[in-house]
Structure 1
Amino acid sequence: MEGMFQPGDILLGVVLPLHLDKEYHPVSFSERPPRINCTTFHLENFQQLQAMMFAVKEINTNPNILPNISLGFQAYDSCDVLQQDLEGTLQVLSGRNGAIPNYRCIENMPLSGVIGASISTHSILLAHILGLYRYPQVSHYSTSPILSNQKMFPSFFRTVPSDAFQSQGLAKLVLHFGWTWVGLLAVDNDYGQQGIQLVKQEIIKAGACVAFTESILTSQPDRNARNIVKVMKESTATAIVVFSPAIDLVHVLAEMLAQNVTEKILVASEAWSTSTLFSDGKFSEILSGTIGLALHSGKIPGFREFLNKVHPSTSLGKYWVKLLWEESFQCKFLGEKNPTATSEDLRRECTGEETLASIENNYNDVSSLRATYNVYTAVHVMAKALEDLTNCNKGRSRLSNQTCPDILNFKPWQLLHYVKKVRVTLSSGRELFFDKNGDPPAVYDIVNWKGTPNGTIKQVNVGSYDTAASFGQVFTLNKSAISWPAGKLQVPLSVCSQSCPLGFRKTSERGKPACCFQCIPCPQGEISNITDSIDCFKCLWDEWPNGHKTRCMQKNIEFLSYEDPLGAGLAATGITSSLVPVVILKLFMKYKTTPIVKANNYSLSCILLSCLPLCFLCSLAFIGYPQQEKCLLRQAAFGLVFALCVSCILAKTVMVVFAFMATKPGSRLRKWTSPIVSYMIIAICFALQCILCISWLLQAPPFPQYDIQTKPGVIIIECNNGSATAFWCMLGYLGFLAAISFSVAFLARRLPDNFNEAKFITFSMLAFLSVWVSFIPASLSAQGKYTEAMEIFAILSSSWALVVCMFFPKCYIIKFKPNMNSKKQLMKKAGSQI
């Protein structure tokens, strides 16, 4: 393996992927696979190696850290290949360029621990091996939650948070933008599969849904990109969470560009959220607007100057430095050209006189150190643990036998004890330590990818996710700093179904996830005042939804009021009509000596005319706000007044019959023609109605009530009659009296005119009965205030029937035909009929 070595009193093993890929060869299993050839030399990863060397130099030159003890290192390039990581680690354990299990060739330089690997799957394998010997392993990039199991991996630590925290952060990020329909894409290893499953759990727990889950197959040269992009294209999900290293994502992005899939928003995991692999802008149309979590950045003072001093002729790892030189200056060292290369592949010769300080690239860019800073921190963690071991006090030793090991001859498990307790203050002022699972405090930056005027792409910090922050500061995001694709100002939507507006509720669609739904209007009387409401809520009994069913409003109150044109018209009619009987009464009193007035029972006529104004005026009790007193008295007043009127008419009818029959010779009915009889009839009939009404008011009195069922959205304030039976009995009694009057009058209609008022009574009772018989079906079909209006109309109509049929003919004779108002005229007419 390609590696480099720097001697020291204590060695540090380092396994880093300076290359990101390898050449793929078909495996036939019939012959030995060829040697792995690494490809895609990555400047940013070489910067990580330089950070390790800078940290070692910083520690060795600082008299306050491990005085009189020098740190050395043994480093290898793993190429992100599992076999390479394993082989490099075994060579570190053996102490030479060759793996000799269970044997260390360099006895005078103890191994403190190993920094690496980058990929979680690789770290899991190495942790199993290093855990056997209890060698501390500190990874700067492995984030799989499995590695937090200290029982399985007792010597594994990391300076990067576990994906358990990252997955929660990515889920929070997705849900923060209201993306409830999300695609998931992950590399097919422990890092990708476990990370994406945690994201899926968090997303589903929060009520969102997963549109699809696809895997990037590292075993295939094209990473299964064609099928992945096909699924993306067919899905309606706009947001796609991607858990993958940058190198494995390249093929997918290239396929998206080929199929013109540019409307998706990628949500990046920390493995590629700040990768410089895409900074050339080739995929800017796809990656603009990408948002994701990134490892918290840090600063290393003096690091840029150290990077720019690297030179192929003087620096360790000359082979790698030459690759850096060729990549940075687009040149080729003499003798290293590919003889099969075309003229287009040929580059100018590298002279070695080029200077790194004169250029700006991903190698010497120290503005936002993330993985590089984690490597630097890992070295200081090992150095601090060694320093704590050196400062061991025998009386207070943390080891079980209270002995202090020799710093130049310690056992791996002894140093492991101090690594678990180490605390390192970082340049930002934060303190790094390991919890019981070997994990540091979880802090992430939230980055957004933006295109630049020169066509490249850069990552900009727009927030943070810090699990150790105070309440309310754990997740912070500056929305105004976020740039979305195609210059969009609003957050792009990623939903299966459009949000249900106010006034609607969601209902699930059979066979589809919960995020796919239909919007249906709220039922009558219910509202929804939030978007995507699951249920509609009923308004209070005195409230009703507005037209859009978004809020409850006070219901309209309905009753027959004086302000209402209908109520005002009926009231005016009732008051005006009440004056007519008064005028007739005065007329009768003025002409009480005339024959026509005498012949029609003056006393009973006066009683009847005195009651008729009350009949008209009792209609006013049905107009206005239904108060307790008004409800209690209005039906009773109506029943009593009309009972008195109809009793008078009945008495008049009976008296007409008695008077005619008493004129016959030898009739015994003469004594029944006395006025006392008529008064007794009135008193008895009226008394029965009084008893009925008093019983009604005592047993089931009417009361005001709110009717909210008859008319939706309206509160009808009305008088409940208390007992419908009593009401109809009262009304039926009036009908009974009227029917008797009508029957008797009808039989007596052909009596001589001088006695005959019967035909007028017949017409009046016929009209009276017709009105109230018509009232019954009309009142049952009417609603609200129209029920009262119907009864008022019946009261006024029946009252007018009595006035018109019984008194208008008499008034007409009195005023306009005075010659007919004489005894001679009456006797003449009577005689002609006899």
Structure 2
Amino acid sequence: TISMDCEFHFESFQLFQAVRFAVDEINKNTEILPNITLGFRAYDSCALLQYDLEGALQILTGLDRHIPNYRCSSGVPFSSIIGSTISTHSVILASILGIYKFPQISHYSTSAILSDRIRFPSFLRTVPSDISQSKGLAHLVVHFRWTWVGLVATDNDYGQVGIQIIQREIVKAGACVAFNENMLTSYPDRNAPHIVKIIKTSTAKVVVLYGASLDLVPIVKEMVKQNLTGKILVANTGWSTTVVRSAHMFSAVLHGTIGLALQSGTIPGAWTKIFWELAFNCRFISDKNETGSLVTNVKECTGSENLESLQNDYNDVSSLRPTYSVYTAVLVVANALKDMNNCKNGEGTFSERLCANIKDFQLPPQAVLLYYIKNVRFRLNSGKEVYFDENGDPPAVYDIVNRQLSPSGGMIMVKVGSYDLAAPPGNIFTINTSSILWNSGETQVPNSVCSQSCPPGFWKAGRRGEPACCYDCVPCPQGEISNLTDSFTCIKCPWNMWPNPEKSSCLPKPIEYLSYEEPLGTTLTCMSTLSSLVPGIILKLFNHFKATPIVKANNYSLSCLLLLSLSFCFLCSLLFIGFPKPENCLVRQATFGMVFSLCVSCMLAKTIMVVFAFMATKPGSNLKKWTSPWMSYMIISICLLLQFILCVTWLLLDPPFLEKNIETQPRLIILQCNEGSPTAFWCMLGYLGLLATISFVVAFLARRLPGSFNEAKYITFSMLAFLSVWVSYIPASLSSQGKYTVAMEVFAILASSWAIVFCMFAPKCFIILFRPSMNSREYVMKKART
């Protein structure tokens, strides 16, 4: 026997009582092993490797001492070993037991190394591998959208293998690791001051602590010492449900912890009397005390003792975890023995179809039992099916637990979900987020991010030298949008659409043109229409007073043609207003050029006729024949013909057309008339300027002619104003955009037309209407003599 003083550990005592209960339950069930009594031998290793190893060798030898490669006992054989609790110990035991194919079933060793069938052929377990646990913890982190996570693990195989899987899985899911620190098991304080300092200074609010409860205690103590609160701790099965002494001291740190725990279960009828006698230090007199450890002079249990009065952290036996696992391990052995016992010769699995003798195990026939254990399949009272995969691992099923403060001020473990890899794809991960209480006391899931999410309209620009989860939110460039949160890129809107102000969606671009409905278009339309009436009124006035000297002296027929052309000049501006149509685009500039050519040609003809009339009055002059009306009409026709040829050539070779301009103002679709050939347009306009310039120069030279021929002064001012308007139009047109370019041309048309109307006809109308005395033959003759 092993003799040493070990500290009493209530959880280990629970495991022992579970084995006792399971064996007793099996022996009472005649359907499992009829006429066979199942027994057990318990070894207390005090959690030390050498004693775990010594106990296993004693089982193989069959004596109270171990003799390698010898079995010295006879009679009832040992069928299997249940244990060890610690993965490192199980690795050593499995290396030895595997040589003999001796079945070993662990109820708590979760190391992924133990899934290696080549190294450990006889090892099985009733708890899932750490690989499943690590993936589950990573899934938990990803589920809550924590993208900035700190990792802390023990520096042994258990911690390093587990934390590497977690890191790989969360990085694969797009999250980032803020820091990765090791708990140094060679240090008594596990390097806690340094680790806690890193946790405290990091912006990560979530920290995954991966290790055994023994290694976590110094870390938690240091967190309390440094008053570190507000962090969310994510726990592995090694400490998620472990009861920490002086829990009230650590509640500020541990409250809100969430993590995975071994699946809980209940063992019907196992604990009522056992727990009651231990908890209240009493004995049920009517029956033997279940513990077998109480002295006879203790008080009698009444059954009415109050559980709420207990200050016992282990009084909750409704959610057994390791205990339920060791209970399952005993049932695995019993059901494997049952299958072996039910074997009939001729139906056996091995050579000659024979069956093994269940009452006479000799080494290595344990390989027979190992076969049945590997292939065992049965259901527990809870409905859970028990079986092993090809690696000796059971279905990976975990509870998701949350540490919460109880009303009494203690801490309780609340199951808030499950992680079941044996479930259908849609039910593998289930969690009730609303039942979780976080460290801050809120029910909403806290954020743990390096950078806040980028809203729609922004894209994530990574920071140089930092993890991918650390980025800046940069607004989308002009003309691009992002309609999702945390977009990595922006997408360009179609050519006919433009982003909304938030740059989160594309909207149809407004179509811009000089509309009749808008104030500018309405104003210009009214001005054009009303202005076109003025030359008509003047024409009617001239027609009424055509017999008067002032009308006769100013060439009545040319004045009428000029007034008519001016009316058309005002009206042609309407072609530039309103929805641009292809036919409007085709003719509007040509119409403008022809009408204004007629107008300026009339002015030029008037000027030349004034000069010819003056020169014809000189004695001996033979220019009288050049003053006839046909001369003026010939000048007008020649000037008009040249402009007509230019416009027709323009329309035939490179005509104007309707286009949708998205280059000038990207936010708009500008409906405009493309002039086709800019050269032709400026040649047309330049030709008008040439006619106006010639008329201006000739009129300027003739401005000092006698008073009866003083219309040259009016022509001079008219052409000066005309040229001033169109010279000013050139830079104004080049600097304006969209509809304002059209508006500038309309304004230039109206202004230049009004300049001619005002300078040419306003003085004459004033005399006709308000100075009739000046409109007489006597006044004209007098003016001529002076």
TM range (shorter): over 0.9
2:424 to 451, 458, 470: 470
1:260 to 222, 227, 252: 227
Q: Which amino acid in the other structure matches residue 262 of structure 1?
A: T
**Deviation by residue 1:85-129 (Cα, 9 ceiling, x = unmatched):** 222222222223222211222232323222112222222222211
Residue 97, structure 1, aligned to residue 51, structure 2? no
Structure 1: stretches of 5+ with no match in the other structure: 4-35, 326-332, 334-349
Q: Report if aligned partners of 2:692, 2:719 keep a CA contact under 8 Å in 1.
A: yes
TM alignment of 1:139-288, pairs within 5 A? 139-278=106-245, 280-288=247-255
Q: Distance in 2 between matches of 1:46 and 1:390?
A: 31
The alpha carbon displacement at 1:278 in A equals: 4.8
Q: Distance in 2 between matches of 1:719 and 1:401?
A: 100
Q: Distance in 1 between matches of 2:25 and 2:291?
A: 21
Q: Report if aligned partners of 1:626, 1:704 keep a CA contact under 8 Å in 2.
A: yes
The alpha carbon displacement at 1:673 in A equals: 2.6
Q: Secondary structure at the match of 1:581?
A: helix
Q: Report if aligned partners of 1:94, 1:101 keep a CA contact under 8 Å in 2.
A: yes
Q: Report if aligned partners of 2:346, 2:352 keep a CA contact under 8 Å in 1.
A: no
The alpha carbon displacement at 1:279 in A equals: 8.1
The alpha carbon displacement at 1:632 in A equals: 2.5
Question: 2:326 matched to which residue of 1?
Answer: 375
Residue 430, structure 1, aligned to residue 430, structure 2? no
Question: 2:681 matched to which residue of 1?
Answer: 727
Q: Distance in 2 between matches of 1:578 and 1:211?
A: 78
Q: Which amino acid in the other structure matches residue 366 of structure 1?
A: V
**Deviation by residue 1:598-655 (Cα, 9 ceiling, x = unmatched):** 2222111111111111111222222222233332332222112111111221222222
The alpha carbon displacement at 1:775 in A equals: 0.4
CA spacing shift, 1:249–1:2, aligned 2, 3 Å: farther
Q: Secondary structure at the match of 2:42?
A: strand
Greater mean deviation of Cα atoms: 704-713 or 740-749: 704-713
1:445 to 371, 387, 399: 399
Q: Which amino acid in the other structure matches residue 692 of structure 1?
A: L
Residue 650, structure 1, aligned to residue 604, structure 2? yes
Q: Secondary structure at the match of 1:461?
A: strand
The alpha carbon displacement at 1:740 in A equals: 1.7
Q: Report if aligned partners of 1:181, 1:237 keep a CA contact under 8 Å in 2.
A: yes
CA spacing shift, 1:220–1:681, aligned 2, 3 Å: same
Question: 1:305 matched to which residue of 2?
Answer: 272
Residue 389, structure 1, aligned to residue 340, structure 2? yes
Q: Report if aligned partners of 2:80, 2:103 keep a CA contact under 8 Å in 1.
A: yes
CA spacing shift, 1:279–1:713, aligned 2, 3 Å: farther
TM-score (norm 1): 0.87
CA spacing shift, 1:685–1:394, aligned 2, 3 Å: farther
Question: 2:568 matched to which residue of 1?
Answer: 614
Structure 2: stretches of 5+ with no match in the other structure: 285-289
Q: Distance in 2 between matches of 1:218 and 1:415?
A: 38
Greater mean deviation of Cα atoms: 629-638 or 189-198: 629-638
Q: Distance in 2 between matches of 1:794 and 1:400?
A: 113
Q: Secondary structure at the match of 2:151?
A: strand
**Deviation by residue 1:14-72 (Cα, 9 ceiling, x = unmatched):** xxxxxxxxxxxxxxxxxxxxxx8644x32122111211221111112211112222222
Q: Distance in 2 between matches of 1:416 and 1:662?
A: 139
CA spacing shift, 1:549–1:627, aligned 2, 3 Å: same
Q: Which amino acid in the other structure matches residue 188 of structure 1?
A: D
Q: Distance in 1 between matches of 2:88 and 2:585?
A: 86
The alpha carbon displacement at 1:485 in A equals: 1.9
Q: Distance in 2 between matches of 1:588 and 1:704?
A: 42
The alpha carbon displacement at 1:571 in A equals: 1.7
Question: 2:358 matched to which residue of 1?
Answer: 407
CA spacing shift, 1:314–1:597, aligned 2, 3 Å: closer
The alpha carbon displacement at 1:367 in A equals: 0.6
Q: Distance in 2 between matches of 1:38 and 1:617?
A: 113
Q: Report if aligned partners of 1:136, 1:416 keep a CA contact under 8 Å in 2.
A: yes
Q: Secondary structure at the match of 1:435?
A: coil
Residue 576, structure 1, aligned to residue 527, structure 2? no
Q: Which amino acid in the other structure matches residue 682 of structure 2?
A: W
Residue 138, structure 1, aligned to residue 138, structure 2? no
Question: 2:90 matched to which residue of 1?
Answer: 123
Q: Report if aligned partners of 2:459, 2:476 keep a CA contact under 8 Å in 1.
A: yes
TM alignment of 1:497-512, pairs within 5 A? 497-512=451-466
Q: Distance in 2 between matches of 1:162 and 1:188?
A: 19
TM alignment of 1:511-526, pairs within 5 A? 511-526=465-480
Q: Distance in 2 between matches of 1:95 and 1:609?
A: 134
Greater mean deviation of Cα atoms: 463-472 or 797-806: 463-472
TM alignment of 1:338-349, pairs within 5 A? none
TM-score (norm 2): 0.92
1:777 to 731, 739, 746: 731
**Deviation by residue 1:249-305 (Cα, 9 ceiling, x = unmatched):** 222212221221122211111122122345853421211111111111122111123
The alpha carbon displacement at 1:2 in A equals: 4.2
Q: Which amino acid in the other structure matches residue 93 of structure 2?
A: L
Q: Distance in 2 between matches of 1:688 and 1:402?
A: 119
CA spacing shift, 1:708–1:616, aligned 2, 3 Å: same
- What is the identity percentage for the equivalent residue pairs of Structure 1 and Structure 2? 61
TM alignment of 1:362-761, pairs within 5 A? 365-399=316-350, 401-410=352-361, 411-711=365-665, 713-761=667-715
**Deviation by residue 1:188-234 (Cα, 9 ceiling, x = unmatched):** 33222211111111111111111222223333333332332222222
Q: Report if aligned partners of 1:562, 1:623 keep a CA contact under 8 Å in 2.
A: yes
CA spacing shift, 1:274–1:559, aligned 2, 3 Å: same
How many residues matched? Answer: 771
Q: Report if aligned partners of 2:416, 2:431 keep a CA contact under 8 Å in 1.
A: yes
